[in-house]
Structure 1
């Protein structure tokens, strides 16, 4: 069952046994598992690397199990993140392959940059080459470049380039996170925070984008995407994450303050509830003593706020955000 997080059958058996008995000597555990002692010790070493077991500090040669809720939870979170990165890379590569198969010159629309120095240099070029706007998603685990390059951003904003940035909450806990964030807000950059962003991403003037191809531990590599359908998809990804983020600003004393996004008012919620109950726009307008155009305008506003294009999508968004209860349709 734990093979998904990198444990083989022996390692999983060893961990389960340790959890059951709390702590054990190698010899005792080997006897319990019916394994040779060298194999048992190798399994324990692997568990130690994964943070699932540790040698007792009070008794040499004795091993103890790490609490499953904490240790397995951390591993699952790590693997989920790696899987998301792999899925994104697969989508990007599939799109690149599709475009290359469609037209011979399509490779000119995509560059693959490898090596930490080359990735950092290309990242700097994107910012310094922008003339209107730079959009960025910033993760808490930069690979080859930091989330914010103060020098490059100062030069760009000094030329009138606007910045919109969404950061992961983890960025706020980094050693220089608050300092760099305060500097960015001081340059009138728009910054929002969300629990998690799907990938590190920078887009310059909606004409050029850069997204990583590798995660921590591998040689840094990035995909630079020129104007294409893929670039439009990456821009759409940024806009979707931007809509979900909470705005940040500097208070009078220089501290970072989180603001709430505008949401639907009481009238909007009543309109939504009645529409989801199956009423027509005209019936809703009559029920709430509103004009038909007012109801339709408010519904369009809710769709824009939610970033959706159909009323069906608006209904799902309303449920997900807790604007209405599912019981309304029962």
Structure 2
């Protein structure tokens, strides 16, 4: 008996039928009763198996008073089955091509009515985050906070800023905990991004042209599921939330003197107001970071100094401004329109 283990399942031959086929192949002209004795199976099961093998073209029944069975040429029979399987696979491939074309048509026409699409896994969320920006014609609104599906470098933003797409981003202080993040935001601001900071954000999201939005469904890392929202009232609500928080947020880089900062007031308190109005751009930036709640380590990295040196520098600034605490200094700077 030839028995190298099941090999024909790929062309639709079960392990049992292959076992019977191998028996017939090894003993041309074998009778059903002999197959029953060799296999230990019932006559009915053997007959059914032989019928299936005959339909597949693997065996044929010999003429005679006592039914006997012989195998057809294995090479010819099996190659015929493979050709049939290949034909089925070709039809399946054609169907896959048609379905893919339909998928791309639906996927590229992003403005076909309001709908939601669940995005599985951080990779899919990252892919859509980049794709939505590439679809942007006018504006991208972003809540930026950890955890992230990409690193802090946005691969497409600078190019889109150059093309005139407006970017407005609200950050949280934790967004600048890793080295290089503040430098990256500084580069984006120079390229045209409008950046502000809030102590906290409820979630992270990106909105494109006030029509499309992508956001995670939960904020626990890793971000296993997200949602793509297309042209629905949910996007309208998210835009409204963004605009309200934008008004509350503080600019990352404060205005320079003459760019909107108030002039010194009249005689009462003129000396104190003069101090505030004459703050250097560096001190204005430091106060903006304090007001936004950035940690000492993050601010120190941005100024290229140590946290200890930063605290000494900050103490001198507070004394100069007659402010008791960093919070008080940041609040007064915000009230005076300096940050």
- TM-score, normalised to structure 2's length? 0.41
With structure 1 as the length reference, what TM-score do the two structures score? 0.42
